[in-house]
Amino acid sequence: MMKKFYTTMLALAVPLLMMAQGWPSQYQGVMLQGFYWDSFDDTQWTKLESQADELAQYFTLVWIPQSGKCNDNGGNSMGYDDYYWFDQNSTFGTEAQLRSLITTFKAKGIGTIADVVINHRNTSGWVTFPKETYKGVTYQLLPSDICADDDNGKTKAWAEANGFSLSTNNDTGEGWDGMRDLDHKSKNVQDNVKVYLDFLLNDLGYTGFRYDMVKGFAATYLGTYNKDANPTFSVGEYWDGNKSTVENWINSTKVNGTVYSAAFDFPFRYTVRDAINNKDWSKLSNTSVMADAGYRRYAVTFIENHDTEKRSNSPQDPIVRDTIAANAYLLAMPGTPCVFFKHWKDCKNDIANMINVRQFAGIHNESGYTSYASTNTHYAVVSKGANCDLLCVVGDVTKYTPTDRWILVTEGYHYRYYLPNSANTVWISLASGTYNGEQQATLTAVTRDDAQIVYTTDGTDPTASSTKVASGSKVTIPVGTTTLKAGLLIGGAVSGIQSRTYNVIDFKPYNIDIYVNTDEVGWSSVNFWTWGGDGSHSPKNSDWPGDKVSTTVSADGKNWYKNTYTINSPEDCVNFVFSTGSGSPQTVDINEIKATTYFEISTATEGGKNLVNIVKTGIEEIQYANDTPRDDAIYDLQGRRVTHPTRGIYIQGGKKIIYY
């Protein structure tokens, strides 16, 4: 009955989504920020697409980096120095790969959110924007589309000295000296932006927009752009900790009295940060957009993002402890939660379980909630979902004992989730997903009735004759693929069935050796700069250019510099840059190495960096292929099918092949 009710609610929500302005009402989805700073390896379009089946179980929206090409000079870019708008070949992949990602996501029920950077734009020289032709029409911003007060007047001084004229209008928002601030009063700017947004939505297939740095231009223009483009989802990065200021910005996106954008709830984020940093969970009661019933529909809540996360020793503002409890609070509350990619990777089972509970209860962006306990040691809150209530306790959870109405369904460090005993379902503690090694799933009866649990592991619905266990029993999930279904057996009938699917592999950590030959370039020493994978591969010398490697071995008549690394999981890998002396010259990035490999550094360069040739690996009988897939299915070294292989070692047609 609960599953049928949930499906009905989704069906009723479809007209709401179609009519949505700014952000849908009573929206039950969860968003993922599908990247972090410098996540060039981890969040390539092909990599994100390969995770579509898993992501679709938990996320209805995935926000990806700005996808346009940022320069003609090579090198990595996160997209915030946007140069081209209609050339969608970026550091994260080609336009074809982007289109494939968006199409695959859409087929799985995931909407892709574009990162839209229109406050400013990159130039060649000081004031020259590129010409681009789209559908036979040429588009170009002009020097006269640059705000008169750009760069505190420096741009105007340069322009006048070199025969150019800027706009006569000053910036309608806060200025930024990094690139040219666009004059949104300009009809040419407006025309270019409107075609660009239409291209993103109706050509590339994006579902909605995340607008970057919206403090940089008046919100009324964003409202006008959205009214014209009509995205279902729009969220602005109005970076401000004051609730009233953020709400004023939301109001300012109105056109003819209609709000046209949500906003990231920075006040919510700072409330969570302050509660954790001050070891005072009562601060969760502080104000935020989510806490305001009149605005929570437009609150996109979050714990961390690419700007606040810890990056090297830069002065960011990360939450460095209790991040899992912070996510528990985030996912129990109204608003639309946006989970940070690193948190998802690091705490996948916890966060997946939280989202499962949220989905079951039907918590949406306008749900009401009541605080049951607010102390410095713990905080307890009940959110009212479309299907049932959800009780979340964070902090010292041992300090709070709920009434008999509540049944614990999932817990972890400093958090617990409870459902009411009226939910009449079975809760399975282990979320669907891929795991390494045999697992255990605990079955809990969430009911006030005297009930047994019945379950199957072959994908069929349990019946009265299926295996029977008491609440709290554990089911072993073996290596292989298993679909576990469990339900309540009450009065001879089975109800409240829940289902989970597991792919359990048997992986053992192993060592790889990396060999580097420098005969062609004549380097007398080699430094290894390493990163990526599970985070355990950083160089011992944390300063560039990393570890100087002096161990050498002879093989095939050549001298090789050698170092050893441990691959700790199926997803683990090591990325390299090789260099000499003070770090210059250096090689291009070498990504996702999982096997013993012999590299020769070439005199050929790309973007001023030496190219590297793979001449031999520790896996025998390897063939080489270009990046055009053959008819045979392609699998990675763990036996998982791969649709779009990136550079690396794969199995195809029964043979091991390197795609390069």
For residue 659, what pLDDT band results from cuts at 50, 70 and 90?
Answer: low
Q: Which of 190, 314, 193, 297 minimizes the C-alpha distance to 235? A: 297
Closest CA to 625 of 606, 648, 641, 601: 648
As beta bridge partners, residue 552 has 561
- Say which residues have a Cβ less than 8 Å from residue 58's Cβ, sequence separation at least 6: 30, 32, 351, 352, 355, 356
- Find the mean pLDDT for residues 377-382: 98
Instruction: For the chain, give the mean pLDDT.
Output: 91
- Say if CB 332 and CB 384 are below 8 A apart: no
Q: Say what the pLDDT of residue 6 is.
A: 38
Going by pLDDT thresholds of 50, 70 and 90, the confidence category of residue 634 is: low
543-595 tens-digit pLDDT: 999 999 988 899 888 999 999 999 998 878 899 999 998 889 999 989 889 89
- Res 532: pLDDT: 84
Average pLDDT over residues 216-237: 98
Q: Which has the minimum average pLDDT: 245-249, 292-296, 604-608, 652-656? A: 652-656
pLDDT at position 660: 40
| Peptide bond preceding 585 in cis form (omega within 30 of 0) | yes
Higher pLDDT, 638 or 498: 498
- How would residue 638 be classed by pLDDT, with cut points 50, 70 and 90? very low
Tell me what pLDDT residue 13 has: 41
Check: CB of residue 294 under 8 Å from CB of residue 269: no
pLDDT at 571: 79
Pairing of strands 493-505, 467-469: unpaired
Average pLDDT over residues 515-520: 95
Contact in structure between 404 and 421 (CB atoms under 8 Å):
yes
Confidence grade of residue 14 (pLDDT, cut at 50, 70, 90): very low
Instruction: Provide mean pLDDT across the span 396-408.
Output: 97
The tokens describing 246, both together, are 């953020």
Coil vs helix vs strand at 151? helix
Q: In what order do the strands lie in the sheet with 474-477?
A: 425-428, 439-446, 474-477
Block residue for tokens 């960011």: 316
CA atoms within 13 A on the CB side of 97: 22
pLDDT at 330: 98
At 494 the pLDDT is: 97
pLDDT digits (tens, 9 = 90+) for 134-143: 999 999 999 9
Rounded to whole angstroms, the Cα distance separating 112 from 110 reads: 6
State the burial class of residue 19 (Cβ atoms within 10 Å of its Cβ: 0-12, 13-18, 19+): exposed
pLDDT at 328 over 60: yes
Q: Which of 331-345, 508-522, 528-542 shows the lowest per-residue confidence on average (mean pLDDT)?
A: 528-542
Give the predicted TM-score (pTM) of the model.
0.85
CB atoms within 10 A of CB 89: 15
Radius of gyration, CA atoms only, the chain: 27
At 550 the pLDDT is: 87
DSSP class of residue 124? B
Joined together, the tokens standing for residue 616 give 């031999």
In angstroms, the CA 230 to CA 213 distance is 20
Cα–Cα dist 285/271, whole Å? 8
Question: How does residue 443 score in pLDDT terms, banded at 50, 70 and 90?
Answer: very high
pLDDT of residue 3: 36
CB burial string 220-238: b at 16+ within 10 A, e below: ebbbbbbeebebbbbbbbb
